[in-house]
Amino acid sequence: MTAHLPVLQVVIPLMAAALCAPLRWPRIAWGLAVLVSWTAFGIAIALLAQVLDAGTISYEIGGWAAPWGIEYRVDLVNAFVLLIVAGVGAVVAPYARDSIESEVAPGLIPLFYAAYLLCLAGLLGIAITGDLFNVFVFLEISSLSTYTMVAMGRDRRALTAAFRYLVMGSIGATFIVIGIGLLYSVTGTLNMADLAMRLPDVDATRAVPVAFGFLAVGISLKLALFPLHLWLPNAYAFAPSAATAFIAATSTKVAVYMLLRVFFTIFGADVSFGTMRLDYILMPLALVAIVSMSLVAIFQQNVKRMLAYSSLAQVGYMILGISVGSATGLTAGIVHLFNHALMKSALFLALGCVVYRIGSVHLSQLAGLGRQMPWTMAAFSLGGLSLIGVPLTVGFISKWYLIVSVLEVGWWPVAVLIVFSSLLAVVYIWRVVEAAYFLPAPEGRGVIREAPLSLLIPTWTLILANLYFGIDATLTAGVAGRAAAALLGIGS
Amino acid sequence: MSLETLLPLALAIPALGAVLIALTGRSPNLREGVTFAAGAVLLLLIGSLTLQVVSGARPEFTLVELVPGLSLHLAVEPLGMLFALVAALLWPVNSLYSVGYMRGNGEGHQTRYYICFAIAISSVMGIAFAGNLLTLFVFYEVLTLSTYPLVTHHGTEKAMKAGRVYLGILISTSIGLLLLAIGWTWVAAGTLDFAQGGILAGNLGGPALALLLALYVFGIGKAAVMPVHRWLPAAMVAPTPVSALLHAVAVVKAGVFSVVKVVVYVFGIDLLAAETATHWLLYAASFTVVAASIVALKIGMERGNLKRLLAYSTIGQLSYVVLAAAILAPLSAVGAALHIIAHAFGKITLFFAAGSIYTAAHKTEIGQMDGIGRKMPWTMGAFAIGTISMVGLPPTGGFLSKWYMLMGAFQSEQLFAVGILVGSTLLNAAYFGPIVFSAFLRSPAESAEGDGHEHDHGEAPLPIVIATVTTATLTLLLFFFPDVPVALAEQMVGGVLGGAP
């Protein structure tokens, strides 16, 4: 049984999605989603333990040996990503029951859970597979299901947001598949390990750099790197709260993982950063994203949109860490994958509690909520502190690695920009905190009760995880460090 | 119980106190009982630890490995012991005062108030015992955040604005400058541990070292070296016990303590003395001393807000500590350490007196306080002792520290520093003298403030008076029995003065 864990990781949610779609009872669909999410989380933990214990796992689908068959390959890097995706899924699924019932039309709820499980399967699939075309397939699965979830938001603008996302996402996917096709045409293989081996023989062909370019643009679009980010803010702002929390914490992370996989494992750090100088493009864009998106976040009135822009800045942090090119930088990028997933999902879940009670996340509507919903707003404040990077939260761990990594290579101005953007985060988080705690509640609002426990418990689970992994980061930073070393081909 | 376990306990006791306060919030008497119990236990613990440290013990304890290779590590050294002792000594006194003040003025949210206070004390212990820069930074930030709800306690528009300044300056300097400085130190020295003689020698030099020092000094915003001092007057919007313990003792002393610690244990006095580029610190501190005294003098002449005057006096007094460290002589470093205590005792007395006046007579402006010494003899008597210590005259603790600073300045032939010390002493006398004078010798009838507030009042509630007199007594006791603090301070500079090893 344990030998089949890699395939079960993907197949279980995929099958469950098919079961969910025709169901007519929302609660049963929800129960199935919770069960499957927790199973997936259990499998992800088991896989990580197995990898930490015994090294890379290779699994041949249907017994067809790689490179002919599809290989699922779990090493430290993607075991970590699987854990992030499945972990967030396991927390968001129980939260979804009440939140989704209040935000999505009853008839659509089973479909929502079907889309949710498909998305989970797709994201886990991208992370686990060792086959490049398989990546594309799962990318489409996760993207299409995401468009569906976004479109289910009750604001009518959710439809245009989903449509915009669909158009941009499809362009990105097309770029990626063109890149994959070009690589296939010159190497005749789709297996990642095999590609990595064969590419050096054909690197004189023009197809390889062209494929490199297509993949770089396509993946950057998927991970919403400035200036290819325009689809993201509205999609996050208008999707149902539970969906936003899940997507924000996982989908851009998986896209960053794709970037790592393609440019470190397949092309190799020497080609990507030595010959092609990917860092020359990534670093300036990351810096622009960090500063400009933080600035834009300050001026948002819709708090969900504000956090969406903050996510764009945070993606910049990850890309910045990666573009440093050193082991520390890569560690910073990878550990921030995990940490940002924790903080952003916690924040979006806290906002979901607000939506559940007052139906809006407009800044002016949050006035006075500190007294009316003390647990929710305390969770938001703590999550915000993590986002700022205050010590004893995960945000600090990320920031520490990032700053040390840029100082190591002597990029002074970059370090200054990083701390400057942290201060911008203070500004946009504190606007919310001040509104909640200092301003009187708007006229005419009735008595607002605290959100139900079914929403608060998942939210606080993530908040406590923010604190726990901020106080003892030996596991996360340790795994990230070893994953970085593995990607750079130094040590294990 | 082994000596090492006392360190985490020193953090845990106030933290546990905070939890119990939260649980007993419905019964105010029980809640205050918890505060006192936690304060008493902490004082006992710190007291016994002090005796061990004076006789040479140096316990260490690792709390948790934060990231691979970097831990939250506690390690006692004499200066930190001194700081912890001051905070542990004054917390129960201040709690007594708080009970009188918060109840006397009918303040709301008292449970939140005591919780935040206990957390702040816990983080002060963390700062005092920090064994490396990272630990120091972590608890420094916790202290900022836990005191934010205290500063904005009243929840008014004014409190919110003051809170913005408070948090804005303290967070932006600590994340913007201090974190960079720590990262730089890590990259340059490969360690963040505090070590006798510093960790930077041979790793950095010249202008880079001067820049790093600037990042530290201005990054530690709590030390209030100009121009990062603005948060301190802003914080005066808080209830007076907060201003007293936090913004005359715990928070600001955490600032100058960190600066002294960085100067002594990260840079090393010898390295700084050799690198002339770093000597700007002496002038920055001198400027702050003089400028803050002049602002205080101006407030005094306009007979303005007493707490505001005390805030600027604090800014000046804090920079004495920085100045004394920047003189870079062992004797003046001892003076810096002693001034951390001496100023704490004196300034908390002054704030206590200000709050006492507010509680009894609802007066905040110096102009309203003519003749008040006759109605409130205990309060104003204590106030007078506090001012004597601020000026630095015997028989108060303030004399002791100023004496060491002056000796150090003479020893290293820093005549500029001598001039600043003497000149600022005159300024201090010029703005504190008239307040005491008019409180006792002018009659209330001379007061121009006929605002109908002249209802009859006597002394403040008993807890307030007891607390105020206690701290005034401590100020005097420090002059007569300075053995323990002096022994600790001399150990800090390596016993080069012939003190205990």
What pLDDT, in 10s, does the model give residues A4-44?
Answer: 888 889 999 999 999 988 888 888 899 999 999 999 999 99
Is-contact B316 B297, C-beta < 8 A? no
Question: What mean pLDDT is predicted for residues B178-206?
Answer: 87
- Cβ–Cβ gap A426/B168 under 8 Å: yes
Among A298, A328, A419, A475, pick the best mutation site for testing chain B contact (most B Cβ within 10 A): A419
Nearest Cα residue to B376 out of B433, B435, B440, B437: B440
Chains A and B form CB pairs within 8 A to the count of: 78
Three-state secondary structure call for residue B454: coil
A416 interface with B at CB cutoff 8 Å: yes
Q: Point out the residue among A397, A415, A434 whose CB comes nearest to the CB of B180.
A: A415
Q: Using the predicted structure, report yes or no on whether residue B58 has a pLDDT greater than 70.
A: yes
What confidence score (pLDDT) does residue A244 get? 93
Residues of chain B found within 8 Å of residue A400, distances taken between Cβ atoms: 67, 179, 183
Q: Name the one residue in this structure whose structure tokens are 């101006």.
A: B298
Is-contact A347 A314, C-beta < 8 A? no
Separation CA B90–CA B92 (nearest Å): 6
Q: Using the predicted structure, report yes or no on whether residue B41 has a pLDDT greater than 90.
A: yes
pTM: 0.90
How many angstroms separate the CA of residue A429 from the nearest CA in chain B? 12
- Cβ–Cβ gap B180/A477 under 8 Å: no
Tokens of A47: 């896989």
Question: What mean pLDDT is predicted for residues B445-457?
Answer: 53
- Cβ–Cβ gap B183/A400 under 8 Å: yes
Strand B70-75 versus strand B60-67 pairing type: antiparallel
B 130-189 residues with CB < 8 A to A: 137-138, 141-142, 145, 152, 155, 157, 159-160, 164, 167-168, 171-172, 175-177, 179-180, 183-184, 186-187
What confidence score (pLDDT) does residue A255 get? 93
Tokens of B333: 């470093």
Cα dihedral value B312, B242, B7, B500, nearest 10: 40
Separation CA B161–CA A450 (nearest Å): 28
B1 interface with A at CB cutoff 8 Å: no
Closest residue of B to A381, CA-based? B145
| HSE-CB of B156 using CA atoms within 13 angstroms | 7
B68 interface with A at CB cutoff 8 Å: yes
A434 interface with B at CB cutoff 8 Å: yes
Low-confidence ranges of chain A (pLDDT < 50): 492
Asked if ipTM goes beyond 0.90, one says no
Question: What mean pLDDT is predicted for residues B463-467?
Answer: 89
Q: Using the predicted structure, report yes or no on whether residue B454 has a pLDDT greater than 80.
A: no
- Cβ–Cβ gap A416/B180 under 8 Å: yes
- Cβ–Cβ gap B66/A408 under 8 Å: no
Tokens of A61: 């689908």
Separation CA A169–CA B154 (nearest Å): 50
A389 interface with B at CB cutoff 8 Å: yes
- Cβ–Cβ gap B184/A407 under 8 Å: yes
A388 interface with B at CB cutoff 8 Å: yes
What confidence score (pLDDT) does residue A367 get? 86
